[in-house]
Amino acid sequence: MMNQEEVKLLLEKYYAGDTTLIEELLLREYFSQNDVPDDLRDEKEIFRYLMETSAVPEPSADLESRIISTLGNTHTLTNNRKLYTTLSGIAAALLITAGTYFFFIRQNAPRDTYSDPAIAYAETMKILYDVSAKLNKGTKALGKLTLIESQTVNSLEKVNRSATMLNEQIKPLSKAFNTIRVSDTISDPGKER
């Protein structure tokens, strides 16, 4: 049986990683006893845990053949990786394309600029008054054409009145000329005009 000082030295060596397999077995054997001093009770719990979890199962008899068969199927794994890589690339391209499409659709969509209907109505009326003022300004130039047209109509009426007056005043003269002509043909029957 080891004394407490020997156990402490072996523990230091154990935690430093310098123990041999025989020394580790001595420590396990020591901490598996029931009468461990109180200052080493924590170490007993650690070794109890290590003994419970250190039981490594023996590998199965066909482990080696399974490893070799898995390594032999590397061609299939490589093909599967290529397929997954290709499919994930296609999926990424589709996602990028769809994202870009929806981004630009959202950018071109008209947006509501006014949330208050009264402000929207006021802005609309302002724009309509502006358009009306510009139309009136444009038709003002046409006002000169109507002035020219009315002056032309006035002038034509004056010319017609003058022509009518002249016609009225010429009637007596034309009667006088007809009378003179008739008298000339009577006085000189052989002469024709």
- Tens of pLDDT, residues 124-138: 888 888 888 888 777
Question: How much of the chain exceeds pLDDT 90, in percent?
Answer: 4
Residue with tokens 């054409």: 145
More confident residue, 4 or 109: 4
The pLDDT assigned to 150 comes to 82
pLDDT class of 1 with cuts at 50, 70, 90: low
The pLDDT assigned to 192 comes to 54
The pLDDT assigned to 45 comes to 84
Could you report how far apart the first and last alpha carbons of the chain are, in Å?
A: 180
Mean pLDDT for 40-49 is: 82
The pLDDT assigned to 73 comes to 62
The pLDDT assigned to 176 comes to 77
The pLDDT assigned to 90 comes to 92
Q: What distance in Å separates the CA atoms of residue 9 and residue 27, rounded to the nearest whole number?
A: 11
Mean pLDDT for 83-88 is: 88
Contact 12, 45 (CB under 8 A): no
The pLDDT assigned to 181 comes to 79
**Alpha-helical runs (H) found in 17-73:** 21-31, 41-53, 63-72
| Residue 84: pLDDT over 60 | yes
Please state, as a whole number, how many other Cβ atoms lie within 10 Å of the Cβ of residue 19: 17
The pLDDT assigned to 94 comes to 92
Domain-by-domain residue ranges, the chain?
Answer: 4-54
The pLDDT assigned to 31 comes to 83
| Residue 70: pLDDT over 60 | yes
- Tens of pLDDT, residues 138-163: 777 777 777 778 888 888 888 888 88
